Amino acid sequence: MENRPLEYDYSVTKLFMWSTIALGIVGMLVGVIIAWELAFPAVNTMFGSTLAEYTNFSRLRPLHTNAVAYGFTLSGVWASWYYIGQRVLKVSMAESKFLMFIGKAHFYIYAVAVVGVVVSLLLGYTTSKEYAELEWPMDIGIVVIWVLWGISIAGLIGIRREKAIYISIWYFIATFLAIAMLYIFNNLEIPTYFASGGIGNWFHSVSMYSGSNDAMVQWWFGHNAVAFVFTTPIIALIYYFLPKESGQAVYSYKLSLLSFWGLMFVYLWAGGHHVLYSTVPDWVQTMGSVFSIVLILPSWGSAINMLLTMKGEWQQVASSPLIKFMVLGSTFYMFSTLEGPIQAIKSVNAIAHFTDWIIGHVHDGVLGWVAFMIMAALYHMAPRVFKREIYSKSLMSTQFWIQTLGIVLYFTSMWIAGITQGMMWRAHDEFGNLAYSFIDTVTVLHPYYTLRAIGGTLYLIGFIMFAYNIFKTMSARPVEEDELVNASPMGA
Ligand code: HEM
Ligand code: HEM
**Would you say residue 440 has pLDDT above 50?**
yes
Ligand 2 center to residue 109 CA distance, Å? Answer: 26
- Of 33, 43, 68, the residue with max ligand 2 atoms within 8 A of its CB, to mutate for a pocket test, comes to 68
Q: Measured from the CB, is residue 15 less than 6 Å from ligand 2? A: no
- For position 482, what pLDDT does the model report? 63
How many residues comprise the chain? 492
In a domain, 492, yes or no: no
Q: What's the whole-number mean pLDDT along residues 254-259? A: 96
Flag whether 489 is in a domain: no
- For residue 417, being part of any structural domain is answered with yes
4 falls within a domain: no
pLDDT above 90: residue 161? yes
Which of 363, 408, 457, when mutated, tests ligand 2's pocket best, judged by the most ligand atoms within 8 Å of its CB?
Answer: 363
Q: Which ligand is nearest to the CA of 359?
A: 2
Q: Which of 274, 275, 291 for mutating ligand 1's site (highest number of atoms within 8 Å of CB)?
A: 274
Nearest CA to ligand 1 atom 40: 130
Domain extent, residue 114, equals 11-194+201-482
Query: Is the alpha carbon torsion for 384, 407, 18, 129 positive or negative?
Result: positive
* Average pLDDT over every residue of 240-255: 96
- What pLDDT does residue 3 have? 55
> For 276-307, what is each residue's pLDDT tens digit?
999 999 999 999 999 999 999 999 999 999 99
SS3 category, 283: helix
| Domain CATH for 18 | 1.20.210.10
DSSP string spanning 290-351? HHHHHTHHHHHHHHHHHHHHTTT-THHHHH-HHHHHHHHHHHHHHHHHHHHHHHHSHHHHHH
Residue 18 CA to residue 113 CA, distance in Å, equals: 16
Give distance in angstroms: CA of 305 to centre of ligand 1.
22
185 occurs within a structural domain = yes
CA distances from 159 to 86, 94, 163 (A): 10, 12, 10
The atom number, within ligand 1, closest to the CA of 274 reads: 13
Determine the distance separating the centroid of ligand 2 and the alpha carbon of 31, expressed in angstroms.
6
Distance 450 CA to ligand 2 centre (A): 15
Please report which confidence band the pLDDT of residue 2 belongs to, taking 50, 70 and 90 as the band edges: very low
Judge whether 245 lies within some domain.
yes
Q: What was the pLDDT predicted at 195?
A: 81
Q: What is the CA radius of gyration of the chain?
A: 23
Ligand 2 centroid distance, CA of 289 (Å):
24
Whether residue 3 is contained in a domain is answered as no
Residue 354 lies in a domain: yes
Cα(373)–Cα(168) distance, integer angstroms = 14
The predicted model gives 42-61 an average pLDDT of 93
Whole-prediction pTM value?
0.95
pLDDT at 490: 44
Least confident of 48-52, 161-165, 183-187: 48-52
Render pLDDT for 135-159 as a digit per residue (tens, 0 to 9): 999 999 999 999 999 999 999 999 9
- 157-166, 466-475, 479-488: range with lowest mean pLDDT: 479-488
Query: What total number of domains does the chain contain?
Result: 1
Ligand 2 contacts CB of residue 65 (under 6 A) = yes
Does residue 29 have a pLDDT over 80?
Answer: yes
The per-residue pLDDT for 491 is 45
